[in-house]
C-alpha cells in the first residue's frame, strides 16, 4: 500500500456550509488512533478471505479518516487477496471530506472511509457518493447504512453512560441522560463537550427533541455541576479516581482500561433504556465517489470490508461493533439487537455548526 504525503488544507469558499460545520467540530480528530480509543494490536484479516471476481485488477485510491495503524493492515491484506493496488491518503475525516469537495471532478479518490456517518452524509448531500450494490448493503442492518444506498457502516460505536461499580449498579442508572440533571447527580457527572462524539450526540438530540429541549438539558447539566474533561479516556479515569460517579463516553474506551488494568477496573457501561440520542450507535463507514475511475475495484474493497475476516479484525482491534451477522463482538458488549437506538438517519448528523453554536450560547464550551 502506498501512502500519500498528508498536506495542510486551505479551505476555500466552495459553498459547502455543512462541511465547515464538520471541520469546526471534528478538528480534534487525528489521523492516528488516540490514546485510550480502544485501538490495540490485532492480526490483520486473512488474505484468502476476500470476495472473488473475474474482473481484471484495477488500482484504487482510498481517502481514510480512520487511523493508518488500524486501516493499513486491512488494505494490505485486500491487495494480497485480490491483486488490486491501493493508494491511501490518511487524515482527519472532515478535512478529507472537504478536500473531496474542493477537488470536484478531479478527485483521485475512489473510496472515502470516514470515522463517522455525518461526514458521509455531508458528501452524499453534495451528490459526491454513488449508489452501492444492494447485495453489499443487505449485509448491514438498515439502521447503520444510508437510506439512499450511498454509504454503508463498517463498524459501530455506541453512546453509553459509564458508571462507578464501587458505588452504583446498573439499576441506579436513569432511563436517559435527562435524569442526570437531577439533584442526586449534582457534581457527580463528567462529560467532554469539545469531543466530536459528544457533539454528534448533541446533534442527534437536537434532531429528536428540538433545539429548545436540548438547550434546557445543557443548561440544567451545567447548573448541576457537570465536570469538564479533556476527552473520553480522562472521563473514565475520573471515575476510577473518585472525581465523578458517571461519565458520557463511547462504549469502547473502557475496554482499553480492562486490557491495561484488568477486569477489576471499577467502571462499566450502561446503554440508556430510553432509546434516545444518548443510546445512539454511530458508525465508521465507506462510500464510493461518483468520480471513481475504478468502480468495480472500489466495490470489491467495500465488499471486503464487510467480509467476516475484516469485520472480525475491526472488532478485535477497536472493540467496536461488527455490523454483519455471524461475527461476534467483544465479550461484555451488549448485543446490537438489544440496544434501543433512536429512529434517526445517521446521514443527517451534519449540522454540527448549529450544535457548536448551541454549546457556545449555553456556556458549555
pLDDT tens per residue across span 2-31: 543 333 333 333 334 445 555 554 444 433
What is the residue range of 188's domain?
A: 160-279+354-361
DSSP letter at 47 equals G
Which whole-number Å values give the CA distances from 180 to 190, 219, 237, 345, 355, in the listed order? 10, 12, 19, 26, 20
pLDDT at site 219: 98
Asked if residue 143 and residue 173 are part of one domain, the reply reads no
| Distance from C-alpha of 365 to C-alpha of 62, rounded to nearest angstrom | 34
Question: With bands split at pLDDT 50, 70 and 90, how would you rate the model's confidence at 352?
Answer: confident
Residues 288-336: tens digit of each pLDDT? 999 999 999 999 999 999 999 999 999 998 999 999 999 999 888 999 9
179 and 31 in a common domain: no
Q: Are residues 9 and 138 in the same domain?
A: yes
Q: Domain total for the chain?
A: 2
Instruction: Determine contact, residues 147/345, Cβ cutoff 8 Å.
Output: yes
pLDDT number for residue 44 = 65
What average pLDDT score do residues 214-221 get?
98
Confidence check: pLDDT of 263 > 70: yes
Question: Chain-wide mean pLDDT for the chain?
Answer: 88
Same domain, residue pair 153 and 288: yes
Please enumerate in sequence order all residues whose Cβ is within 8 A of that of 111, keeping only pairs 6 or more positions apart, or say none. Answer: 60, 61, 62, 63, 286, 287, 288, 289, 292, 298, 301, 302
pLDDT above 70: residue 177: yes
Residue 345 included in any domain: no
Q: At what angle do helices 196-209 and 211-223 cross, to 10 degrees?
A: 130
CATH number of the domain at 14, please.
3.40.190.10
Same domain? 54 vs 202: no
Question: Could you tell me if residue 264 is inside a domain?
Answer: yes
Query: What is the separation of C-alpha 130 from the centre of its chain, rounded to a whole number of angstroms?
Result: 21
Position 354 pLDDT exceeds 70: yes
Buried-state track 6-21, b at ≥16 Cβ within 10 A, e below 16: eeeeeeeeeebebbbb
Grid coordinates given for 118: 455525518
* Cα(265)–Cα(38) distance, integer angstroms: 15
- When pLDDT is cut at 50, 70 and 90, the band that residue 1 belongs to is low
pLDDT higher than threshold 50 for residue 215: yes
Same domain as 291, residue 262: no
* pTM of the complete model beyond 0.75: yes
44 in any annotated domain: yes
Give which of 206, 149, 199, 251 is closest to 344, Cα–Cα. 206
- Model pLDDT, residue 359: 97
pLDDT of residue 21: 55
The answer to whether the beta carbons of residues 112 and 63 sit under 8 Å apart is: yes
Amino acid at each position: 500500500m502506498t501512502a500519500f504525503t498528508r498536506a495542510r488544507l486551505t479551505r476555500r469558499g466552495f459553498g459547502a456550509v455543512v462541511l465547515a460545520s464538520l471541520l469546526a467540530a471534528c478538528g480534534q480528530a487525528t489521523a492516528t488512533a488516540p490514546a485510550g480509543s480502544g485501538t490495540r494490536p490485532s492480526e490483520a484479516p486473512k488474505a484468502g478471505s476476500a470476495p472473488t471476481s473475474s474482473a481484471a485488477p484495477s488500482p484504487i485510491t482510498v481517502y481514510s479518516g480512520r487511523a493508518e495503524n488500524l486501516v493499513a493492515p486491512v488494505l494490505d491484506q485486500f491487495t494480497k487477496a485480490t491483486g488490486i493496488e491501493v493508494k491511501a491518503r490518511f487524515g482527519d475525516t472532515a478535512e478529507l471530506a472537504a478536500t473531496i469537495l474542493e477537488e470536484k471532478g478531479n478527485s483521485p479518490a475512489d473510496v472515502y472511509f470516514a470515522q463517522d456517518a455525518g461526514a458521509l452524509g455531508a458528501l452524499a448531500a453534495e451528490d459526491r457518493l454513488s449508489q452501492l450494490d444492494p447485495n453489499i448493503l443487505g449485509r448491514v442492518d438498515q439502521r447503520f447504512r444510508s437510506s439512499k444506498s450511498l454509504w454503508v457502516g463498517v463498524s459501530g460505536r455506541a453512546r453509553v453512560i459509564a458508571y462507578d461499580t464501587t458505588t452504583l449498579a446498573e439499576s441506579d442508572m436513569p432511563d436517559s441522560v435527562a435524569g442526570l440533571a437531577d439533584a442526586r447527580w449534582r457534581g457527580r457527572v463528567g462529560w467532554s463537550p469539545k469531543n466530536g462524539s459528544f457533539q454528534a450526540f448533541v446533534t442527534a438530540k437536537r434532531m429528536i427533541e428540538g433545539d429548545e429541549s436540548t438547550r434546557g438539558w445543557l443548561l440544567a447539566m451545567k447548573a448541576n455541576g457537570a465536570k469538564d474533561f479533556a476527552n473520553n479516556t480522562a472521563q473514565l479515569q475520573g471515575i476510577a479516581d473518585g472525581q465523578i460517579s458517571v461519565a458520557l463516553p463511547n462504549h469502547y474506551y473502557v475496554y482499553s482500561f480492562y486490557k491495561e488494568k484488568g477486569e477489576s477496573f471499577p467502571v462499566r457501561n450502561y446503554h440508556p433504556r430510553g432509546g434516545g440520542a444518548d443510546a445512539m450507535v454511530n458508525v465508521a463507514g465507506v462510500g464510493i465517489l461518483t468520480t471513481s475511475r475504478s468502480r468495480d475495484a472500489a466495490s470489491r474493497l467495500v465488499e471486503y470490508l464487510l467480509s467476516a475476516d475484516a469485520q472480525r479484525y475491526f472488532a478485535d482491534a477497536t472493540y467496536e461493533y461488527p455490523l454483519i451477522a455471524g461475527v461476534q463482538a467483544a465479550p461484555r458488549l451488549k448485543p446490537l439487537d438489544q440496544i434501543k437506538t433512536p429512529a434517526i438517519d445517521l446521514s443527517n448528523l451534519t449540522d454540527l455548526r448549529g450544535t457548536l453554536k448551541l454549546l457556545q450560547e449555553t456556556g458549555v464550551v
